Amino acid sequence: MSGNATESTAQPNPHAVTEPGHAVRRATASEHAAVEFRSVTKVFKAGRQSHTALDDIDLRIERGEIFGVIGYSGAGKSTLVRLINALEQPTSGTVLISGDPITGVPESRVRQLRRDIGMVFQQFNLFRSRTAAGNIEYPLKVAGWSRARRKARVAELLEFVGLADKARSYPDQLSGGQKQRVGIARALATSPALLLADEATSALDPETTGEVLRLLKKVNRELGVTIVVITHEMDVIRAVADRVAVLAEGRIVELARTFDVFAAPRAAPTRSFVETVLHNRPNPEELQRLGAKHPGRLVTVDIDDERGIGTALATAAQAGVTVEIVYGGVSTLQDKTFGSLTLALDGAAEAVDRVAGVLAGSPAADERRSA
Ligand SMILES: Nc1ncnc2c1ncn2[C@@H]1O[C@H](COP(=O)(O)OP(=O)(O)O)[C@@H](O)[C@H]1O
Ligand SMILES: [Mg+2]
């Protein structure tokens, strides 16, 4: 498999200028990707052992998007983030921030570029001895802001993250979600164009996770900040990511718009991530149990905006076939319908064949005879 990601949706990029025999070229400086990886490999060496954490990664994260990176533990996610803010140097290849290399350049240049990058951590990394306001103020002090400007900015940020009443609270007096909101406000203090969130919700319960994810979405939509969300949870991707890259053993095995990944996952790791959230297709054991319980034939069909079961139900009614919905779920993602339903069809063999045929007319229909 190649380290190069392929889009599963053909999305013409209006900015791309393709020349025969050449890679895609950027047209002008204003059209640089927020983050770009060019053939980036990272090998960690420990004595005689070496481990390839990232293997020939090519990746563009566009300005203004929420880009998700999902992978199992050890896939290379944190290494990828640490290359974006140059906490790690690649073994080979280049990482660019808005078109400027952040790798292979002097430390002073790295510091300059890093000013435009905010970072949110799984364990919040707040100063326990400082209040919420004090934590948010810290990067402004480092950046040399005057006291008056700092005060106004902190108040604005506290308001933005919904913690205006917690300015004087210390981290120990805040819930996990509140702590992470302080972490986000601190990361945004100097108005970076890019925000990196490495497992930012992994220490939080599901409800609080939702609250933090809604805030990240607000940061993206209202402030136009590009966000890279690193996670091992598909629910997080589903909630916020416009596009997602699936990382496995240091390679990008799939990269597509989030909807497309959920509707039609391709790579094996992607399919297992999607299954962790959807639970809308019965596994083989469940299928066997359903078969034992329901007479007739079981048919599983994918549902989306174009494909429903209306026609099949009408055919069934005419042909005297009873249809029972025995498994599945239909929901929406990014305002589009998708899901899967498993139906038990019972009636005369010929009539059942006809209804199954109508359902099979949808390319994704997947028929299995009951046991
Ligand atoms: N500083 C390091 N030295 C040696 N190996 C490392 C170092 N950092 C990460 N690795 C290895 O690289 C691989 C990817 O790690 P990481 O990027 O932290 O994965 P993830 O964040 O997806 O769990 C792992 O096998 C890890 O052990
Ligand atoms: Mg990690």
Cα distance between residue 36 and residue 323, in whole Å: 51
Whether 365 has a pLDDT exceeding 50, the answer reads no
Domain contains 143 = yes
Bridge partner list, 79:
none
User: 245 and 323: one domain?
Assistant: no
Residue of 37, 79, 233 to test ligand 1 pocket, by largest number of atoms within 8 Å of CB = 79
| CATH number where 324 lies | 3.30.70.260
Q: How far away, in angstroms, is 358 Cα from ligand 2 center?
A: 47
Domain contains 54 = no
Q: Taking residues 29-52, what's their average pLDDT?
A: 91
DSSP 8-state class, residue 75 = S
User: 199 and 293: one domain?
Assistant: no
Ligand 1 atom nearest to 71, measured from its CA = 22
pLDDT of residue 263: 85
Does the beta carbon of 340 sit less than 6 angstroms from any atom of ligand 1? no
Question: Which one of 277, 312, 341 terminates a domain?
Answer: 277
Does the beta carbon of 46 sit less than 6 angstroms from any atom of ligand 1? yes
Surface-to-core class of residue 223, CB atoms within 10 Å of its CB (0-12 exposed, 13-18 middle, 19+ buried): middle
pLDDT more than 90, % of the chain: 70
Domain contains 111 = yes
Direct distance between the N- and C-terminal alpha carbons of the chain, in angstroms, rounded to an integer:
37
Domain contains 2 = no
Q: pLDDT category, 284, cuts 50, 70, 90?
A: confident
Q: How far away, in angstroms, is 52 Cα from ligand 1 center?
A: 9
User: 364 and 249: one domain?
Assistant: no
| CATH number where 192 lies | 3.40.50.300
Q: How far away, in angstroms, is 296 Cα from ligand 2 center?
A: 48
pLDDT of residue 302: 84
Of 145, 237, 234, 238, the closest CA to residue 191 belongs to 145
Whether 47 has a pLDDT exceeding 90, the answer reads no
Of 328, 350, 349, the closest CA to residue 339 belongs to 328
User: 107 and 207: one domain?
Assistant: yes
Contact yes or no for 337/305 (Cβ under 8 A): yes
Cα distance between residue 39 and residue 59, in whole Å: 9
User: 123 and 236: one domain?
Assistant: yes
Residue of 51, 57, 229, 249 to test ligand 1 pocket, by largest number of atoms within 8 Å of CB = 51
Whether 21 has a pLDDT exceeding 60, the answer reads no
Query: Between these two residues, 256 and 371, which has the higher pLDDT value?
Result: 256
Domain contains 213 = yes
Mean pLDDT estimate for the chain:
88
Q: Taking residues 64-90, what's their average pLDDT?
A: 96
Tally of CA atoms within 13 A in the half-sphere of 21 that contains its CB:
0
Cα distance between residue 69 and residue 55, in whole Å: 15
Question: Which one of 259, 277, 295 terminates a domain?
Answer: 277
Does the beta carbon of 180 sit less than 6 angstroms from any atom of ligand 1? no
Residue of 50, 78, 122, 231 to test ligand 1 pocket, by largest number of atoms within 8 Å of CB = 78
Whether 197 has a pLDDT exceeding 50, the answer reads yes
Tell me which of 39-53, 230-244, 330-344 is least confident.
Answer: 330-344
pLDDT of residue 20: 41
Of 11, 57, 63, 7, the closest CA to residue 32 belongs to 63
Question: Which one of 233, 261, 277 terminates a domain?
Answer: 277
Of 339, 344, 328, the closest CA to residue 362 belongs to 339
Domain contains 29 = no
Ligand 1 atom nearest to 82, measured from its CA = 17
Whether 229 has a pLDDT exceeding 50, the answer reads yes
Domain of residue 352 covers: 284-368
Nearest CA to ligand 1 atom 12: 53
Bridge partner list, 119:
196
Domain contains 131 = yes
Domain contains 68 = yes
Residues, CB-to-ion distance under 5 Å, ligand 2: 77-78
User: 196 and 233: one domain?
Assistant: yes
Q: What is the pLDDT of residues 106-142, one digit of tens each?
A: 999 999 999 999 999 999 999 999 999 999 999 999 9
β-sheet with 35-46: strand ranges across = 49-61, 35-46, 92-97, 100-101
Q: Taking residues 233-238, what's their average pLDDT?
A: 93
Q: How far away, in angstroms, is 83 Cα from ligand 2 center?
A: 13
Whether 370 has a pLDDT exceeding 70, the answer reads no
Total count of residues recorded for the chain: 371
User: 206 and 254: one domain?
Assistant: yes
User: 178 and 74: one domain?
Assistant: yes
Q: How far away, in angstroms, is 78 Cα from ligand 2 center?
A: 4
Does the beta carbon of 224 sit less than 6 angstroms from any atom of ligand 1? no
DSSP 8-state class, residue 7 = B
Whether 216 has a pLDDT exceeding 80, the answer reads yes
User: 297 and 235: one domain?
Assistant: no
Nearest CA to ligand 1 atom 4: 44
User: 293 and 345: one domain?
Assistant: yes
Q: How far away, in angstroms, is 72 Cα from ligand 2 center?
A: 9
Q: What is the pLDDT of residues 142-161, one digit of tens each?
A: 999 999 999 999 999 999 99
Per-residue burial over 270-304, b if 16 or more Cβ lie within 10 Å, else e, is beebbeeebebbbeeeebeebbeebebbbbbbbbb
Q: How far away, in angstroms, is 23 Cα from ligand 1 center?
A: 30
User: 290 and 217: one domain?
Assistant: no
Q: How many domains does the chain have?
A: 2
User: 289 and 343: one domain?
Assistant: yes
Does the beta carbon of 370 sit less than 6 angstroms from any atom of ligand 1? no
pTM (2 d.p.): 0.80
pLDDT of residue 121: 93
Whether 59 has a pLDDT exceeding 70, the answer reads yes
Does the beta carbon of 127 sit less than 6 angstroms from any atom of ligand 1? no
Ligand 1 atom nearest to 45, measured from its CA = 4
Contact yes or no for 341/327 (Cβ under 8 A): yes
pLDDT of residue 18: 39
